[in-house]
Structure 1
Amino acid sequence: MTRGGSGNMLGVGGTRRKLGRDALRGGDRAGRVGGGPSPQARKRELLRALRERQQDRQDRQDTADGTS
């Protein structure tokens, strides 16, 4: 079986993106590799937002009940 062209693997995958040293070490926050918050940080942020939302609902319910 012959290879069509000089290594042209059209349709096999996406194009490769060259990453700098900073991006690989987490310095480039817009990059995919090493950027963004860690899973633990995302979980903490999610739990904080859920607690705030629950507290707001409780406060509104208390105010509506007149038990403020």
Structure 2
Amino acid sequence: MSNASPTKSQSRHRVETTSRRVLGLPVKFIGFWTAVFVPFVLLALIASGAVLQAPQLFAALLGANLVGLVVGRDYKQ
């Protein structure tokens, strides 16, 4: 006879998967939209010449864009 009720490990795995999905969606959302909008800010910094005055800001935004690309790559797929 088979047991119809899930085991504790199956239930725990289901809860972990659901919580990852619920918690991961806002992170992917932020990553996706960061990857979309930051390049426009970078272009504005380059066009205005502010890159020479604030190279750390440019580097931080470039890093944020790269992180956003990686984190948000699977958003809404």
TM-score between the two structures when normalised by the length of structure 1: 0.41
Question: By percentage of residues, which structure has more helix?
Answer: 2
TM-score between the two structures when normalised by the length of structure 2: 0.38
Q: Higher relative CO (CA 8 A, sep ≥ 6), structure 1 or 2?
A: 2
